[in-house]
Structure 1
Amino acid sequence: MKTIFVRSLSGLVYVLLIFLCTTNFLSDIVYVYFDHKINSYHLLYALLTLFLIGSSYETVKLLKYTNLIYKILTFILIGIVYYTFTQNFFNGSFSLKLLYWRYILVLVLFVLCILTLFYFSDELYTDSAKLIFAIAYLSLPFGLSLSIPRSNNPLTPEIFYIFLLLWISDSFAYLIGSKFGKKKLAPHISPNKSVEGLIGGIVSTLIAGLIIEYYEPRLRGNWIVISIIIAILAPIGDLAESKLKRKFNVKDSGNLIPGHGGLLDRLDSFIFCIPAVFAYYLLSTIV
């Protein structure tokens, strides 16, 4: 009973933190009651940066480097790559059409990173290979999350709804899989996942996408398309992190969120889906 309570409480705090930092709710409350204006996009940037720092720490620990220098270099280079995305975030000038070659290169690098994880994971035995993998796996998705088109005045909650769709996918996959799951999805990578759960997660995410598209016309992009992307890729992102943990014989990426494991355990699908969602925005801009 205590375990369920702790898990529920920590999950609630995690969800509340994301809601407050990815919408205008906290900014509006502070303005109404304290007559002070908080820039919501500063909160969003702070949240994503903290998530990147925590995920970087867990990844370095998970990859089991043998050389301290490579550990330090990983943090430094992840920070540098992430910083290159910061300027566009704060000035609101995304320039997708002007910078699309740069973004295409970033997306290609991330795809190569994922292919390495699924098909060439045996190559991740040297510290230099781990360094390159960690940079691509973390700094590129978090950097691209800063480049998701949005409005700053007021902040439109595209990132919040991406998280919401990910939670719906994960929750319904778990609930339906627990109740009806019989056929294993990937027993050698994640034995608890089932095909029935996968279908439940996909259907529920598509329904949520339809609702968001209908009731949130202020959002950039077509959210039916975005929900399809997330419905398909979120389970793969979960499997990707499971494969990474299995490769290095780790059960959980950390214990930062009691009852849930580490940040990577919560953000695996986000890390995997953000590049694909961004690719959709990029394609819709240049076509």
Structure 2
Amino acid sequence: MKKITFFLPVLVLIVAAALSSIFIVTETQRALVLQFGRVVAVKDDPGLSFKIPLIQEVVYYDDRILSLETAELEVTPLDDRRLVVDAFARYRIADVEQFRQAVGTGGIRSAEDRLDRILRAATREVLGSVNSNDILSTDRAALMLRIRNSAISEASNLGLLIIDVRLKRTDLPEQNLAATFARMRAEREREAADEIARGEEAAQRVRAQADRTVVELVSDASRQSEIARGEADAERNAIFADAYGADAEFFEFYRSLTAYSRALQGSNSTMVLSPDSEFFNYLKQADRP
């Protein structure tokens, strides 16, 4: 009975020591085995592992891709238009041993504070070397790659690998929005005025060309009408000449009757002429027996 009483606590201690010497590393983790604060082993593969109880301890770190949103940052591009920028980065712990040496017991919280400062400095440096139009454009992949490449060296000193950096928001500060909108409106109004002026100039050219075309067409039509009228008069005169040549006496008689009919109308039946005027030759002959 005394032996059982003696060995039972010993057995419990042995079991407890055996259980405390076992630790499990999952697929999403990496582990460091520390002995008196010094790294003695790195466990990268998932599964069961062992450590010395009471002397060694295990620290776990996330092996997945992590995200970090940087604090709001105000940058000044080359054209002195201040912009407010929000960015986020995706990173992972590439070297857990170096990570432990760099941040100590601060862990992820301390690492992200330092990484945030690194990203803010890289963002301010890169965006300060270009114009605001380049930042505000939709094609900003090259700028984000430059920010990543600028920060990747310092981040590697922390045992971190920056996978990607993205700009979420690039806006003007509130106090600059009204002035910027007014300037944009003035530029659009100037462009509209230029377009209207160019349109009026083009319209004037079209109208001038149309007026010139009208003058040319009317002139050509008048010329052709005069030619046609002259040809018609010539043809008429030729007909009269032929008729006169065929019977001169009848032609003279016909012309006299035509002159009488035009001169002796109801409203113009009074004429004052000399009695021996040639106008009455055929009337005199008509009075003869």
- TM category (shorter chain) comes to under 0.3
Normalized against structure 2, the TM-score is what?
0.21
- Higher helix proportion: 1
User: Which structure ranks higher in relative contact order (CA pairs < 8 Å, sequence separation ≥ 6)?
Assistant: 1
- Higher strand proportion: 2
- Larger CA Rg, structure 1 vs 2: 2
